[in-house]
Structure 1
């Protein structure tokens, strides 16, 4: 299995970082595509105490010209040097409403709740009365560097988050590509840090005067800096040459001004997911 499929199906992980699949050399005019269905359990929003479970579609595609789609991100590999990967990157930032829905899970926009979320009464739900954060298309780029064929440093910079479209996020990480375990199993792991500007933190963790009056949360004006650290583990099982079962575990810990926000109920969030996908 090539590097692309070994890293495939990153769409169920937390939105802590945009996922960029490894370059997959293919014959001209060809493409590699996975589609499927997954189940994920994740926090309602970054910093929420309660989780929700969702059934959601899975999609990852890469074309021979370097263009790829991975969950809610898309981009293009421009480098011909196997040690470097770089190119433009876009990502869809989901809407976050007062219930917190739309945050925390990176995947296709269409989502279907399996278990109804018990919404806390007014005064207990810290997003009640807060202005929703609208859906935004973020734009930027990525740069990855291979330390060895199995280890790579990853980086991406995206801009345009929040209602004012002025939030920026820098994601830096280290990934261990798929470790072969038997004939049909592969395990991969990664860790990273996310840095944001003050506008990003204001959009997702800040409380202005009007929101404070409506929600009861104290006014909070965060600055920029380190937003979170995260680690993840992925297991891929090649059930058949065409079918893959992938499972993911990711732990995210908020830090800095994001951690100190009055909207944060629990600074550590855990995302668990599994998906069955078919390779075309």
Structure 2
């Protein structure tokens, strides 16, 4: 009887020491590794590349809006205003990218610096107190920490896989916007030249100049519409990959946590109890 009691005490002590070692390693080793710049370098670089793309889109959108707003007669002003209003979407996308960069480091530190050690602590206390609440809390905290730690990298990787399929179209939007802006600027110079020399135009030539200006304005409006459509496509891709996909992944992981937290822990409890005896 005494021998059996010693064996139970020995197993419980060994499990407690193992949990303590895991907690210490989590705090002083793993938490530092997962928050190191090298560990998240690929993910951060991916977010930085997306941020640069968004900044370029915002800059070209501002330039295109300004160019269109300076067209004589305010014909292209409505399109210029719509392009200018896209700035709010770029701000939202940049905010989502910045939030993901912050969460990459913060979630890893919280998981292995606090959540996992707390789970180990509750497990150690349970070995000696035998309170089922402590056991369940330890199990659930450990599951929660691991799932949360995986959420951000998985969401970013999923977003990258989708973004890669549309990256060329987003980059093409920048090229199209710059090209359209150059053509609009060239048309504006033609307008200025026509206005400067209109006194020299007589007879049928006046009619030809008027017709040419009308055609040029129609061309500019069409270029503005094409630019606006290209921006809308690019924004749709960026919002889906930077905002929608991470939210969907977060919801999926939340459901996983809910399922795992609601499972019948009787078997796990039995195993945990037997090892602690």
TM-score (norm 1): 0.23
Higher helix share: 2
**Highest relative contact order (Cα 8 Å, sep 6+), 1 or 2?**
2
TM-score, reference length from structure 2: 0.23
Q: Work out which of the two has the higher radius of gyration on C-alpha atoms and give 1 or 2.
A: 2
